[in-house]
Structure 1
């Protein structure tokens, strides 16, 4: 065997014997006569996270699904029938009130107006003749030339002719309106929808065929949503009892989350709350109003509505993970000043986010176990994470340091045996 091989064998043997020497040294630390474990062998106290209970105002979170709608939505319909000659606006564009939108063939209505005017002229001429006859008959009657009946007939003829004139004037007015209505104008300002009748179509005045398009006013925009009847009653009761308050003493601040997940930059307000519960669905209809000058929100979109500004006043809350549900009811583990554990029954209130409101069982300043509830038992002492820094563990010995320490341990063991 060469010298180099011999040296490698010696180093390998020393490396294998080192763990055995360490084990022997450690085993010498425990006396056979005591039969008890030392403090180093006892398990450390479990580590938990404690939550200190304090009185605070907790926001009341209310969120619902809603649908947008124009603040005014009008169907543009034809008031007279005829052939649709042209459309005078661009679909989907903004129009102002009174702007010309459609034109229906006016020729038949122009002719009807002229005919009505002719009838009116005839009626007026007939009335003038009857008035002249009545004046002559009046003179003859006063001169006792004609009978009373002839005089009455003349007066009746004047009254009849007057009525015919009034009727003819009505026909002229009707014909004028029909002619005017051949030009369909925008009843309100807003955004137009798609046309339902194209140029050349026959338009009639019945319900189905009279619709031409629709207009929605999108500034302001409405958002319709619903609250359940019991929830509405509960909020009103809590406000009346002073347990829930709204910032500033006013109404909710309304925020929108758009379909793409973005928050609408402007807040809104509730402008309508129904006074009755829907008998079919059991909900109360609510409507909010938002300014929408750029038309960012369109009618018919589904959005998420959040009501902000309300909060529970001076309440105690604990994380839901701190509460255990037992056969005797809800309970929590409390941690005293000595970090000892004790059970405590509690009465739970509303659920707010990830917390429970506590109505009875806890006082401000007390601590409860928030994490690690399955590790603890009554009377146990625990380590509260964050209360004090944990002692640093000694660094592990390197291989070069292990041999001298093992030798010292062997010497100590030999003295102990001799004694």
Structure 2
């Protein structure tokens, strides 16, 4: 007797559920074989800017230092003891204000001596004049000799000259007495005293310097430009690429050490025609109105020279430029829609853009955003700036469970 078990049943009479996973696996394998590998990544999305020539204002930047428009050394012009300082250090003074008093006694004595010498010479002149007036009529009557006549004339003329010399010495003594009061030659701001009260001063050497005065309105700003930059500007001007302001009247702006801009613009009032052989630079100077004394001598500032412009200049955003070991490059989108690297040479920065002096042509489409993801020769997808990609589709398992 034969016993029937489930395993002994014919295969055709068992359910065919085991064929379902195998069919799915075969179908998946066939799909992969037909696709030739995993699906390709989509091209990266980028934004572009089309390069076109523009006239760009050119700002030239330098480091400068302020200086008074007039800086005068106050010096002693006579010898003596410095009795008193009559000004407050670091405060403004007006022209003619007395700054120092030098001991005047020696000058007063010299003045009295000069007065006495003048009176003596005047007395001699009076006597010589009397002799001259008496001898000449007698000589006309042949009552005196030619020698007597010549002596009278000579004594009279000599006495006249002696009086003139005595008057000059008197005037000199008076000037020296006046110089014992040291006055301000100009209006401006005083500096620290160099000689204190009680010091012996003289009109020669370093001992004559007492203080300095700087005129702060207007204020000068001295700066220098390199000879290479000047040559470049002149070359561009000859080529028609650079246009200076009318009459070379540049506008000048200042940035102070705290980052703030000075309230008013100045003007360029001097450019040297010689190159300093030690530094290879050309000295220049700008003038600024400084009525409230906001600028002080010796400040370091940033000088911005404005007014000129560059014609037909190509600009790209700064973020479009990449740094490589070979130099600066940008990516452009070629007619085939692929990324193409271009080596470029940069010029000056203009706000958030940079000048391209070599490497691009008008009409080139430069990648601005997404250039990090671009690969040479690989296709890219140009999108509108600010456009966002559509949300990704949910996984099948998540969609089924939703």
Tell me whether the two structures share a fold, i.e. TM-score over 0.5.
Answer: yes
Q: Give the corresponding residue for 1:86.
A: 84
1:72 CA displacement: 0.3
Match of 1:266 in 2: 264
Question: Which segment drifts farther, 75-84 or 316-325?
Answer: 316-325
* Residue 226 of structure 1: aligned partner: 224
Paired residues of 1:331 and 1:343 also in contact (CA < 8 A): no
Q: 1:52 aligns with which of 25, 50, 53?
A: 50
Aligned counterpart, 2:138:
140
Q: Distance in 2 between matches of 1:267 and 1:394?
A: 60
Q: Pick one of 300, 313, 329 that aligns with 1:302.
A: 300
**In structure 2, do the counterparts of structure 1 residues 29 and 172 end up closer, same or farther at CA, with 3 Å as the change threshold?**
farther
Q: Distance in 2 between matches of 1:335 and 1:303?
A: 43
Match of 2:202 among 184, 201, 204: 204
CA distance in 1, matches of 2:244, 2:203: 52
1:352: Cα distance to partner? 3.8
Question: Which of 106, 109, 114 matches 1:108?
Answer: 106
Partners of 1:106 and 1:212 lie apart in 2 by 17
Task: Quote the Cα distance in structure 2 between the aligned partners of 1:217 and 1:330.
Answer: 49
| Partner Cα distance (1:24, 1:109) in 2 | 128
Asked if structure 2 preserves the Cα contact closer than 8 Å seen for 1:61 and 1:352, the reply is no
Structure 2 counterparts to residues 278-297 of structure 1, below 5 A? 278-297=276-295
CA distance in 1, matches of 2:144, 2:247: 88
Where does structure 2 lack aligned partners over 5 or more consecutive residues? 1-20
Matches of 1:93 and 1:331, distance apart in 2: 57
Cα deviation for residue 61 of structure 1 reads: 3.3
The 1:28–1:216 alpha-carbon spacing in structure 2 relative to 1, beyond 3 Å, is farther
Which deviations, in whole Å up to 9, do the C-alpha atoms of 1:283-329 show, x marking residues without a partner?
100111111111111101111112123221122233565478899x9
Per the TM alignment, residue 212 of structure 1 is displaced from its structure 2 partner at its CA by 1.0
In the alignment, the residues of structure 2 paired with residue 66 and residue 183 of structure 1 have an alpha-carbon distance, to the nearest angstrom, of 37
- In the alignment, the residues of structure 2 paired with residue 53 and residue 276 of structure 1 have an alpha-carbon distance, to the nearest angstrom, of 40
Indicate the SS of the match to 2:213.
Answer: strand
Partner of 1:181: 179
Q: Does 1:391 align with 2:393?
A: no
Secondary structure at 1:131 match in 2: helix
C-alpha separation in 2, matches of 1:56 and 1:257: 27
Preserved contact between residue 332 and residue 342 of structure 2 (Cα < 8 Å): no
Return the offset for 1:280. Answer: 1.5
CA–CA distance in structure 1, aligned partners of residues 371 and 306 of structure 2? 34
| Change beyond 3 A, Cα 1:247–1:384 | farther
Structure 2 residue 338 is matched with structure 1 residue 341 = yes
Distance change (3 Å), C-alpha of 1:296 and 1:236: same
Distance 1:294 1:326, change over 3 A: closer
Q: How many residues align?
A: 377
Q: CA deviation at 1:58?
A: 2.5
Question: Which whole-Å CA distance do the structure 2 matches of 1:48 and 1:249 have between them?
Answer: 46
Aligned-residue Cα RMSD (Å) equals 3.1
How far is the alpha carbon of 1:251 from its aligned partner?
2.5
Report deviation, 1:357: 2.1
Distance 1:304 1:154, change over 3 A: same
Matched, 1:252 2:250: yes
Question: Structure 1, unaligned stretches of length 5 or more?
Answer: 1-22, 405-419
TM-score normalised by L of structure 1? 0.80
Q: Residues 227-251 of structure 1: CA distance to partner in whole angstroms, max 9, x if unpaired?
A: 1112112112323432122456643
